[in-house]
Structure 1
């Protein structure tokens, strides 16, 4: 299976042939993959080098000129480093574009903390009007990317090396998809966390919802799931900062007695970088760690 980043490069390259408004703006990352597209469309595949503030500003400038920019680099350099440009050049100026990140929270541990971005979605959550997609499979990434390019809004597509074994039906309109139904609580699995959540909840009387779109948050979907359980207890398992969507779930259930547990990447910096699998275990996001915390919270 190809990776989400591989699929992004191949899909965006094809879209450049099909969509004359589309432009791809790079900061060295994935430049080799886009080399054939750059030769075919030298005026619409722009590599600004390792200048991330310029990367975002150039993309927003293209949007002001009527183009549909796809702006790409690692998450830490796409959201965190040039956050002021994301906030002002896209948000304040009221233009649309597609930010596509790679690297996830810790896809390349050897790169160190500079290349880790567990706080990217929480940071974007401070801004208005962003749609946030977190695909769990390359097929889902392609569908969400195509929808994002065809639209006009501000969209963040978060890619990762973490992936589920199989793709699920997804759409740009989002919504939480029931994968299992149970009576003792609800677990929401975001993107690449689904396989681990399914393994962790095997044999438990729980509803499992799957989503690749976390913003806007599907409040109605959480309420529907709470309505078929005996308690409005919700666990949200996200592949980035723990608790990022806990407030949104709480707001969805504000008029119901409820409890919400947000599971994800912890705040503490893990300085022995290790492997991606070791990071999952260290943050309790492997099936064993998830099962222990889910059953403890739901008193199963």
Structure 2
């Protein structure tokens, strides 16, 4: 199966052909995928080199001229390194654009901590007016990329990852999807965590909801889910643990409830290892998720 990032250049190349407002700005990362698009649209495919602050500033400048800029590089270089430019050039000036990241929390462990960004969604959540998509499958990534580019002049962050569920679902850039019903609590799986959550909760009497858009969070669907189950919510995210607990609490502010936020822990893992080893070390594999979810909801391991 191809990856989410494999879809990026083909989708954006088609959008460059279809919409004269679309422009793509790169900082070396991913440039090889746009060789043909650069020849066809040399005025709308720009590579600024390894200058991430310039990447964001150039995108904002294009937005000022009425273009719909799409900016791409690794999450640590797109969100963390040029955060001041994201905050001011886009947010403070009220400009729209699309940020599309790769490498996620630790997709390339051999790159070391400089290439890891478990805090990107938490950081973007401090800014007003950003929609944040976290697809869990290449098909969903393609859908959400097109949705993001077509979203008028909104500000959108799309987080791509090598982690993927086996099957894509019909996401629409807004709703929580009901995947499984149950009465002893609600588990919200974000993006590529869905398969692990479904495996971990097999046989447990819990409802599972699937989120690929986490800002804004679909509060209505979450409220409906807790009305049909015990109002205890477990949130399983592929980035910093607890990133969306405040959003869940806001959605359920008038409902007595508990929330457990599972995700990437704060302590840095200083061994490269492999992606699966990082997931296990952070308690995001099937066995650990089953124990943590069942323990919080008071469910026996057998699911009885």
- TM class, shorter-length: over 0.9
In 1, the alpha carbon distance for the partners of 2:218 and 2:260 equals: 17
Shift in Å at residue 219 of structure 1? 1.3
Query: 1:167 corresponds to which residue?
Result: 168
In 1, the alpha carbon distance for the partners of 2:298 and 2:150 equals: 45
In 2, the alpha carbon distance for the partners of 1:36 and 1:253 equals: 49
Query: 1:13 corresponds to which residue?
Result: 13
Query: 1:98 corresponds to which residue?
Result: 98
In 2, the alpha carbon distance for the partners of 1:214 and 1:171 equals: 12
Q: Residues 70-95 of structure 1, C-alpha deviation per residue, up to 9 Å, x if partnerless?
A: 00000000000000000000000001
In 1, the alpha carbon distance for the partners of 2:14 and 2:252 equals: 42
In 2, the alpha carbon distance for the partners of 1:35 and 1:109 equals: 28
In 2, the alpha carbon distance for the partners of 1:122 and 1:239 equals: 12
Is 1:232 the equivalent of 2:198? no
In 1, the alpha carbon distance for the partners of 2:253 and 2:156 equals: 27
Q: Residues 109-148 of structure 1, C-alpha deviation per residue, up to 9 Å, x if partnerless?
A: 0000000000000001110000000000111011111111
In 2, the alpha carbon distance for the partners of 1:77 and 1:56 equals: 10
- TM-score normalized by structure 1? 0.98
Shift in Å at residue 222 of structure 1? 1.2
Paired residues, what number? Answer: 298
- TM-score normalized by structure 2? 0.97
**Which runs of no fewer than 5 residues in structure 1 stay unpaired?**
none
In 2, the alpha carbon distance for the partners of 1:18 and 1:25 equals: 17
Q: Residues 16-57 of structure 1, C-alpha deviation per residue, up to 9 Å, x if partnerless?
A: 111111100000000011111111111111000000000000
In 2, the alpha carbon distance for the partners of 1:218 and 1:261 equals: 18
In 2, the alpha carbon distance for the partners of 1:157 and 1:92 equals: 20
**Matches for 1:84-163 after TM superposition, within 5 Å:** 84-151=84-151, 152-163=153-164
Query: 1:287 corresponds to which residue?
Result: 286
In 1, the alpha carbon distance for the partners of 2:252 and 2:15 equals: 40
**Which runs of no fewer than 5 residues in structure 2 stay unpaired?**
300-304
SS of alignment partner, residue 63 of structure 2: helix
**Matches for 1:52-91 after TM superposition, within 5 Å:** 52-91=52-91
Query: 2:302 corresponds to which residue?
Result: none
